Chains A and B, each alone.
Chain A
């Protein structure tokens, strides 16, 4: 009974029952060891290059640290985290980060869906234009900062030209706390959303066109088709795009440092910028590691949330 259930290979031996021990070994070790051996290299690589640094960062964040010896001194538990949350500068940075991340996600998803649909409907002969969409993604963050600085600076910038051409006073985009946060949000979306557009586009290309045809026969208009067919069909790609944009927003650093330095005041000092100052300027390795863990926790939390709300294993079109 046991051999019959678990060993289809054994049943093909012309009715001869195999000795129980060899059969058990094939049945138990084969299916177990095989996958383990197959994934072991990946596990080792991930463990060495991802899990160890994160684990070490977590370890450091729970200790006092000697910068000279890179050695942990006393175990202090959550004291570094408590000190962070007691610091108004950190709390304000956390608040600004949430606003920034929300802005990047909303604007980024709007751009991704809009550009994705436009690129999907481009005629066959003009589809090389799709490659142009990726250009901002390939520009270094410092170069993006320089482009946007030129774009928005009130003296000699493009927006100054626009303002003067309609007889208006130029706007000091980077000198206003609110506008500066808006500028870094839009600049981040401009630089990072193209990859998200690509994800959405790949999802659109997998939608079964017969569903649209059937919907049209049923009298559904374009909006109804988009809401009831397109969006559910590309749910996995939307979830991946949301994760991508969230990661990019939480980890955004070089662009902001080059564009505003975290200012004016501390208006654009999001957590990644705050972490840089804490770790490299003020040499507080434990504190900056705690910030790193907090950023990681938010990233993981948001990812789980997206995957929960937008499960990727039940395609709507099935």
Chain B
């Protein structure tokens, strides 16, 4: 039913190989870019926001007041277009100074030398602002590539957790599940108790990236990766596919699952017609508007697959400095601000959780987000979602694999995983 795409494999490899030209050009003139010393002139920094919500409430007035020679001009480029638009803009000589793609999509830029190596700038940051530097430690880890070089700083993240209806579970006499098997059993009980409701919501549609939910669940179930390539031809991979197949076969998930995006799953949960699903943490304030945390809904961050090590991963929005910026020091000041406490608190209160340590302990934020203390322990060990340079192509294979399993609940999950793994390995090897 689903077919491999060798063309796509060659395509990205070719594009990236061709992109090496710019890398060499950029590096040959002494960069990773321009001199990282402060400029003694007026500087305009161009910042690419990935959503309008990332514009601070004061539109950078405080930042510009603190740094009088810097003005910030913002352009909103959607998250999924940040990398391709950056490539095109770089080619046209109109690249921004700072961009903010998610962690799984910028490795190709780092690999091809299109980003600024922040090693010296990090040292300067630590010397000038040791407390702010320490608070941004998690963010810095999310801005560090597989080769150990830091190209940016993670600003915010949207970890995805399993949420569930605590009141339904209590009414049905279900203890809080500890494993995914127990969760499946709970879904069966919910189906008996609430036959008109959807026990389990799955994001099965092709319009949603598999990174946020499906891969998070894979690593939480003990999945592993090699050089950023998830190993689905494994116990964890087959378990996940069979898990989805069971949900579909027993009618525990919607018949429309193959068309469901995040909007449908979280909408159904918020509307009170779904028992459990994976939802990103930045959506929790919207849930709270309809349901009371603790009384009507809760989070299950501790679930494990029996006998398996779990790994919490998520994607962060990362502020990266462009390799050809003329003002790397000033750009690094902007990155510091975006990863800092003031901006982090502002955006955490109204949109997405900051990775800044000071924000995560802020009383105002905690009062507004009662679920945070339950998640802190698990967030402490969280890692960036592993990503290969050809992540976009690998995601296409994962889409095919996931949809084949969902659409064919009685098919051999091991065979589906094996076929997909062969395709992913082929993409990674070219």
B residues in contact (CB < 8 Å) with A: 1-8, 10-12, 14-16, 18-19, 21-23, 25, 80-81, 83-84, 87-88, 90-92, 108, 112, 114, 198, 205-208, 254-259, 261, 264, 268, 273, 392-393, 396, 399-400, 403-404, 407
Q: Is the CB of A261 within 8 A of B255?
A: no
Given contact pairs A260-B207, A265-B400, A287-B7, A154 touches B15 in the complex (Cβ within 8 A): no
| Contact A263 B206, CB 8 Å, known A155-B268, A172-B255 | yes
B7 touches A83 (CB 8 A): yes
Q: Which 10 A-B pairs have the closest CB atoms?
A: A261-B207, A263-B206, A68-B22, A284-B11, A87-B7, A174-B259, A70-B91, A264-B258, A261-B206, A66-B18
Choose one: B7, B198, B399; the contact of A155 (CB below 8 Å). Answer: B198
A79-90, CB under 8 A of B: which get 1 and which 0? 000011011111
A residues in contact with B25, CB < 8 Å: 69
Indicate if the CB atoms of B407 and A264 lie closer than 8 Å: yes
Interface set, chain A 52-97, CB cutoff 8 A to B = 64-71, 73, 83-84, 86-90, 92
Contact in complex: A67, B392 (CB < 8 Å):
no
Q: Which of B90, B257, B259, B393 is A282 in contact with, Cβ under 8 Å?
A: B393
When the two chains form their complex, are residues A265 and B205 in contact, meaning their CB atoms are under 8 A apart?
no
Q: How far is the CB of A72 from chain B (nearest CB, A)?
A: 10
Contact A66 B19 (CB under 8 A): yes
Check if A88 sits within 8 Å of B208, measured CB to CB. no
Q: A155-B198, A278-B11, A282-B11 are in contact. Are A264 and B4 (CB under 8 A)?
A: no
Question: In the complex, which residues of chain B have a beta carbon less than 8 angstroms from the beta carbon of A69?
Answer: 21-22, 25, 91
**Chain B residue nearest to A280 in the complex (CB):** B84
| C-alpha gap A45/B255 in the complex (Å) | 51
Q: With A68-B18, A180-B259 in contact, is A265–B404 under 8 Å at CB?
A: yes
Tell me whether A153 and B256 are in contact (CB under 8 A).
yes
State how many angstroms separate the Cβ of B8 from the closest Cβ of chain A. 5
Are A65's CB and B15's CB within 8 A?
A: yes
From residue B41, how far is it (CB to closest CB) to chain A in Å?
Answer: 28
A-B contact pairs, 23 of them (CB 8 A): A66-B19, A66-B91, A67-B87, A68-B87, A68-B112, A71-B21, A86-B7, A88-B3, A88-B4, A89-B3, A154-B254, A175-B256, A175-B259, A261-B208, A265-B258, A266-B3, A280-B80, A282-B8, A282-B392, A282-B396, A283-B15, A284-B11, A284-B12
- Distance in Å: Cβ of B363 to nearest Cβ of chain A: 40
Q: Residues of A with Cβ closer than 8 Å to B? A: 64-71, 73, 83-84, 86-90, 92, 153-155, 170, 172, 174-175, 180, 257-258, 260-266, 277-287
A227–B205 Cα distance when bound, in Å, is 46
**Residues of the B chain whose Cβ atoms lie less than 8 Å from the Cβ of A89:** 3-5, 7-8
Determine whether the beta carbon of A263 is less than 8 Å from that of B12. no
- Asked if residues A263 and B392 are in contact (CB atoms below 8 Å), the reply is no
Q: Determine the distance from Cα of A277 to Cα of B395 in the docked complex, in whole angstroms.
A: 11
**Nearest CB of chain A from residue B23's CB, rounded to whole Å:** 8
**Pick the contact of B259 from A86, A87, A263, A280 — CB < 8 Å?**
A263
Please indicate which of the listed interface residues B11, B21, B81, B257 has the most CB atoms of chain A within 10 Å of its own CB. B11
Q: For B403, what are the chain A residues with a Cβ–Cβ distance below 8 Å?
A: 263-265
A246 vs B428: C-alpha distance when bound (angstroms): 39
Is A264 a contact of B8 with CB atoms below 8 Å?
no
Q: How far is the CA of A282 from the CA of B257 in the complex (A)?
A: 26
Give the distance to chain A from B226, nearest Cβ to Cβ, in Å: 21
Q: Which residues of A contact B91 (CB under 8 A)?
A: 66-71
Q: Contact between B18 and A73 (Cβ–Cβ < 8 Å)?
A: yes
Report which of B108, B393, B407 forms a contact with A265, defined as CB distance below 8 A. Answer: B407
Instruction: Pick from B10, B19, B258, B393: contact of A263, CB below 8 A.
Output: B258
Q: When the two chains form their complex, are residues B255 and A284 in contact, meaning their CB atoms are under 8 A apart?
A: no
